[in-house]
Structure formats: C-alpha cells, structure tokens
C-alpha cells in the first residue's frame, strides 16, 4: 500500500524531529537456547497450529500507519534521549546493585525476540533511529533466559520461532510473574540449570509488557496473542511508525 | 550520460519497481533508515536478504526433491522467506510465498513444485532489478553526485 502524500528523502535521509545519534550497542543473548525437545509440545517446531476460528478482536494494535503522531511524542523521546550518562555501579552489595539498576538506570531495556536475521537487522535499525538499543534473543528459550537474567521494560516477541514459539514463551513468562518461579518453564523443557544459576536478585513486580509481532495468520491472530498473555501486537512487517507508537504506549 | 540524466533515470527506474508491484512501501521504510550514520543500510539489508534467500531456495529445492516430501521441513523455509521478503518490501516474492504456504498446508506436492518455481521467478526478478538499482546508485555516487530524493506522489 503506497502512501498518498509525497515522501521526500533528502540524500536518503528523512528529516525527523526525533532523529539523534543514539547508541546502538546490541547485546546478543548467547546461550544456545538449549532445551529438552522431547518435553516440548511443538509440533512442527515452528508455528503453533490452531484449529479454532477466531473473531477479529478490537485489540490495541499498532498496525494503523495512518494515525498521526501525538504531540507528546517528540518530548517523550527527547526526554529519553537526553539521559545519556551511564551510572557506574562498582562496589555495592548485590541487592543494592540490582535495586540501583532497576531504579536509576535511565535507558529502557528492550528485548527483541526474533529468529529471522533480516527482520532483526531492520528492527535494530528502526530502534536505533528511535533512540533505543535492544537485546536480541533468537527463540523463546533464549528469551526466558534473558528475562531471568535482566529486568526488561519491554519485550517485542515474534510469534513463530523454532525451539519455543512466542505464544508459549509468553505463557511461561506470565506463569513466572504470577508464581515467582520458573517451574512451568522447567516442566516445558527449558534448561533448569541456566534458570537457577542466573536468576536476577531483585525481580520487578511490574508486569512486563510483551508485544507480539505477528504475521496475522489464523494461528497468530490477535485473539491467540491475548489468550497467551501478550499485552498487544504489531502486525508485520514492522515499520518505524508502529514501533514508535508501541514505545509511546509502553515505555514511560 | 550526465549526472542529472543518471539521477532522473534512477528515479524513473525506482518508480517503475513500485508501479509494477515488485516493491511495496516497506522498501521506503528501509530507505528512511539510510542516513549519514548508516549510508549503506539498504544495500546491506538487501544483500543479507539475497544470501539468506539463495540458501532457502536451495534447501527448498532439496526438500521438495525428496521421494517423500517432509512438509514440516518445507513450511518453515517458506515462512522464513515470506517474512524476510515482507520485511524488505519484495511484494511479489512475499505474495508467492503466501500461496506456497497454503499448498504446503494442503500437502499438495505438485502444487508446491509449481509454487517453488513461481517464488524463484519472482525472487530472481526482484534480485535483478535491485542489483540494477544499486548499480545506478553507484554510478551516480562515482560521478560525485547524491542519490536523488524519492518522491512518490501517487
């Protein structure tokens, strides 16, 4: 679908009020995402299959590209961008350190869970233009390990992934939030040792916003996303506008 | 050909790709991400897409060529190609993948063979066109010019 208004790219560069030279460090979650596959319920190992017919839900979705930016957009993004100083946490006790990280860390921690390299590259670049950095996980198991290790402010979760898909991973993360333990994940085959050895000391009591990135097929419908504990969804392909709206809504 | 002519050629060529439906607005998203700090972004992503797609198409040919086709192997490949082609705006490749996936679901081997041919055709087309586009851009830059603004008023 082509836009009806002319787009001017000056030397391939769009003049954008939010443009900045934000940092672009990306942390790759490297743990191989080991899982006992005999325990996993995945059928094709990739997409969850659904035999149900779902009605179109009225979701809080970010798929409408025609929506105009709110006037608060520039100021909220400006506020995030101006906080550039990294606080050094040196010789503090572990609990204090974790608490400091949670309270005083000014840069929002975002986790992108996606297996497609091209999608990762595009999303990273979009986030960079919006002034944010992201950690990357390539499947649901890596996502769970990442969330266990660090406190995230937002998770962008691809639905269809190998090893452990986004819907299942989200269910397990919600179970962890409710119960305070990863028993459900361990039962589902996620490596017990990694979870138990690398647990973060202070867990945030706030609900982690998890946004689905869905191709909007039947198996990835908005209803399916909400049923599995997602807060909202972005329909693919991901655009700058969709990400911007998502950040506005879920990052404070 | 002088610089202005080359720039006009590039603009016309780019427009034609959109008009023919080979590229869609997602490609514009990529161009918006290219700037002074990221001057080769589009060609980098597209190159990655080519590498990934070449591999996938090869795997698909192998999988579909088996005596007994394992659709649990075929479908994820098509899904991946659909995702990446969608992300870069290769509209016709993406559409061909959608059709392909439907036949995968039906486990229709013959139709899948046809789909693979169709996907390959669309892929080679967009690959060829984008390579031409990048060459035109390189010529302009080599002549000391800037890549012209993309204006789509339709």
Distance CA B90, CA A122 (A): 14
**How far A127 CA sits from the closest chain B CA (Å)?**
10
CA dist B32 and B36 (Å) reads: 11
**Per DSSP, which regions of chain A are E strands?**
27-28, 110-113, 134-137, 154-158, 210-214, 232-235
The two tokens of residue B51 are 């590498």
- Predicted-complex ipTM score: 0.94
- Reference A235, options A250, A252, A220; nearest CA is A220
Q: Return the pLDDT at A203.
A: 63
For A131-189, how does the pLDDT look when each residue is reduced to its tens digit (9 = 90+)? 999 999 999 999 999 999 999 999 999 999 989 999 999 999 999 999 999 999 999 99
The larger pLDDT score, comparing residue A201 to residue A162, is at A162
For A249, the 3-state DSSP assignment is helix
In tens, the pLDDT along B14-66 reads: 999 999 999 999 999 999 999 888 999 999 999 999 999 999 999 999 999 99
Does any CB of chain A come closer than 8 Å to the CB of residue B151? yes
Is the pLDDT assigned to residue A124 strictly greater than 60? Answer: yes
CA-nearest of A204, A202, A203, A220 to A212 is A220
Q: Kindly report, residue by residue over B75-111, the tens digit of the pLDDT.
A: 999 999 999 999 999 999 999 999 999 999 999 999 9
Q: Do A3 and B28 touch (CB under 8 A)?
A: yes
Confidence band of A80 (pLDDT split at 50, 70, 90): very low
Percent of chain A clearing pLDDT 90 (strictly above): 45
Q: Taking a C-beta distance cutoff of 8 angstroms, is the pair A239, A65 a contact?
A: yes
DSSP state of A13: B
Taking CA–CA distances from A45, the nearest residue in chain B reads B72
Contacts of A8 in chain B (CB under 8 A): 149-151
CA distances to A41, A165, A189, A222 from A35, in Å? 12, 13, 5, 27
pLDDT at A89 over 70: no
């Amino acid at each position: 679908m082509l836009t009806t208004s002319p787009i001017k790219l000056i030397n391939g560069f769009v003049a954008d009020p939010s443009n900045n030279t934000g940092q672009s460090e990306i942390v790759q979650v490297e743990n191989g995402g080991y899982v006992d596959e005999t325990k996993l319920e995945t059928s094709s190992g990739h997409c969850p299959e659904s035999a149900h017919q779902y009605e179109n839900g009225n979701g809080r979705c970010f798929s409408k590209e025609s929506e105009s930016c709110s006037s608060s957009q520039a100021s909220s993004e400006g506020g995030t961008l101006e906080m550039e100083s990294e606080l050094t946490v040196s010789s503090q006790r572990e609990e204090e350190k974790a608490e400091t990280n949670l309270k005083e860390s000014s840069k929002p921690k975002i986790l992108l869970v996606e297996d497609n390299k091209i999608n990762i590259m595009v999303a990273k670049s979009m986030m960079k233009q919006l002034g944010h950095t992201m950690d990357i996980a390539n499947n649901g198991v890596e996502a769970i390990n990442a969330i266990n290790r660090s406190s995230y402010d937002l998770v962008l979760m691809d639905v269809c992934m190998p090893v452990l898909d986004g819907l299942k991973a989200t269910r397990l993360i919600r179970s962890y939030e409710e119960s305070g333990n990863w028993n459900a994940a361990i039962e589902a085959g996620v490596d017990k040792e990694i979870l138990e050895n690398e647990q973060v000391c202070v867990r945030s009591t706030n609900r982690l916003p998890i946004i689905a990135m869905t191709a909007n097929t039947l198996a990835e419908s908005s209803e399916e996303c909400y049923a599995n504990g997602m807060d909202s969804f972005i329909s693919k392909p991901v655009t700058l506008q969709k990400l911007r709206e998502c950040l506005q809504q879920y990052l404070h | 050909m002088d610089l202005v002519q080359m720039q006009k050629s590039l603009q016309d060529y780019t427009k034609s790709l959109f008009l023919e439906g080979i590229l869609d607005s997602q490609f514009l998203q990529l161009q918006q991400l290219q700037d002074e700090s990221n001057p080769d972004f589009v060609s980098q992503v597209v190159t990655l897409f080519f590498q990934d797609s070449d591999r996938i198409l090869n795997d698909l040919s192998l999988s579909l060529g088996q005596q007994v086709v394992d659709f649990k192997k075929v479908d994820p490949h098509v899904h991946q190609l659909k995702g990446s082609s969608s992300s870069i705006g290769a509209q016709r490749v993406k559409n061909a993948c959608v059709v392909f996936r439907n036949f995968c679901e039906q486990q229709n081997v013959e139709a899948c063979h046809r789909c693979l041919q169709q996907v390959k055709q669309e892929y080679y087309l967009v690959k060829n066109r984008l390579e031409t586009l990048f060459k035109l851009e390189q010529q302009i830059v080599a002549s000391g010019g800037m890549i012209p603004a993309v204006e789509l008023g339709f």
